[in-house]
Structure 1
Amino acid sequence: MKKILNVRTISQLVVLILVLILTVRHMELGVEKAAPIDAFCPFGGVESFLTYVTTGEFVKRINVSSFILSFIVLGLTLSFGRVFCGFFCPLGTLQEWIRALAKKIGIRNEFELPKSVDRWARYIKYFVLVAIIYFSWKVGDLVFRSYDPYNALMHLGNEFEEKPIGYSILGLVLVSSLFVKNWWCRYFCPLGAFLSIFSKISPFKIKRNKNTCITCKVCDRTCIAGLEIESKNEIKSADCVSCLRCVADCPNGSLKANIGKKEISKRTLSWTVAIVFFVLIGVAVISPLWKTKESSNIIEEKTGEVDVTNLRGSNTLKHIIETTSIPLSVFVDKLKIPSDIDQEIKLKDIGIKYQIKNSQGEFIEMEDFRAVIEEELKE
């Protein structure tokens, strides 16, 4: 039991650390030297799939890496159920750990919706999934990005003004996790909805031996997906995240993991899932297909034209001058920046560092540079 939980916990921790490293790297180096966090999210491939099929192009901020991750996660789901949710998802991990912490500090009662409401509420995430895919295709951008709690989490408080709703949802998710088990995953997560569809055809199932079961309901209490396990002979719910907690915690060993008709030990399955996931990720990263960003975020690769809508606050003034061919003197004249300005500085830092304000009396930011570039490109 302990080894099962250790394998899973270590997997969760490793992914959290990797994502944190990628996040800090992006924050420190900026968009020109580091890929956006979106490039490392498997849901990006799902969001961009319809756009890619119909236009041959990716949704903004998405690249080949997102599609590769999507296929890896999908393959694992078809083989072992929703193990990505149960073993690797950072947001799911934090929700689970916060709830565990709450129990340790005395918050033992869990809030649950009435069963009749819970049953139908679980379908909300499918409507969220469809809406995101449709509008991402329609707009050609990640429409969910500003509302995505995972995206907010991975920006560590940055870009708060751009995604206040996302940060609000993140705060609600984390705080409510003190009292509720993984409610975001159960009712609203679009990636969870996508994987649920394919988990239904996975050969992975949890089976209960009714002859040895003592109906203690430990499995029901320990299930992070809030499923009823004790009353079922086989867990067929698409909301099962294959975390194996029920199997590990069953005091009588009445719950077994199965791949098809073959029973597989808890230890073997956990190690298999962890090894396959990290090996596939490693192979993908070193393969020639792996690509997380374009050479320039403001130059369209197909046309070679400047797309000022992709300008980011982490772009440097030097990069803007080189890619747009707009001389420094133009920005000096229109934005009143000093002629000897450090051109390696990020656009979002110029206003505050040099105490330069726009006509509205606010420190100049990315939008002010965008307006100047748009005006110059029209001439």
Structure 2
Amino acid sequence: MEAFERARLNAYFARLAAQFTTPERPAAFLITHLLPERPAFVRAVATQTDLRAVLPKPKSIHAAARREVERVTQCDPLSRDLFENDETALDYIEARAADTPLVLLDVGGYFAPVLDALCDRFSGRILGVVEDTENGHKRYADCDKLPCPVVSVARSPLKDPEDFLVGQSVVFSTEALMRGRGDIMHGRPALVIGFGKLGSSIARLLHAKGVQVTVHDIDPVRRTQALAQGFTVARDREAALTGAGLVLCATGAVSLRGDDFPHLRNGAYIATVTSSEDELDLGGLPDVYTRTPDGDHVTRYQTTGHYFYLLNGGNAVNFLHGASVGPFIYLVQAEILAGVRMLARGDLGSGMHDVGADDRAFIAATWLNYFNR
């Protein structure tokens, strides 16, 4: 990033931190992809809150960004296991933020399994959660009864540009890895599993490249949307897998289970938009398939009479090429700051909440002022 770009970004976040300041700074934990542009956002969070730790998503840590963030706060290792067990999660939170009002900034629903225990037994007070992703939104929305407010920015209109550009970066990285093996997308029918904002973006981009696209989604409403946009919709999931030379998984849940893989056609490529632990059930494959590296970030799975290729170990393929969506990511990060202020006020009821239209309008106008040049 050039010096003038860094200065502009810092000025943008300073303006937002001033707008969304809170009288009393709550403590905070921040889960995030630690990409090259992320330190400016971390500094804004640290201005708005007493930031106790950043927990970087393990498959997306940029070394220089981490070093810069560690000058602001400590970075702790993140895993699903840390927040799958009540006692482990409580020990961690108590060690870093005992007796404080606390905001949890999430990417992917990490805190969801232990949220009841944290709200019941934490020595301080959980003010709530701000969630950034559709996957995480679903994890919180699926809870029987949320014990605190959850502000979700996952379905905000300010996130639409990011979702489109993430879809573009997924298609770019998938094609780059295929070309690295001497393969191309053209002439290879594609199956997109999941027709949400990311899946629909991927399907449109593949179609624009001349790829024949079939869509599968468990939601009948989304299937009708796919049909209306001109895509073939799979009536039979098994047949769709058999016919696809490229499978792109975009559900945020498990797209492919162990008994799905034998239905893949020989030589099919599989790519995902999120981590393998969320999107693929690979646990039973080593017992049946032999795994061998086959080019950069490509793994060949082979058994008698059958083989397929898994890209980037089943993790989000776009992070291999930086996963950059340009300045549009700053819209979403600004809305996270707005969500922190909502929680810090302490007047939200338990359940799911959105950032208000006035705050979104302020964010959009501020962003346009700094980046529409």
Structure possessing the higher relative contact order (Cα contacts under 8 Å, 6 or more residues apart): 1
Query: Rg: which structure is higher?
Result: 1
Q: TM-score range by the shorter chain?
A: under 0.3
TM-score scaled to structure 2, two decimals? Answer: 0.25
Structure holding more strand per residue: 2
TM-score scaled to structure 1, two decimals? Answer: 0.25
Structure holding more helix per residue: 1
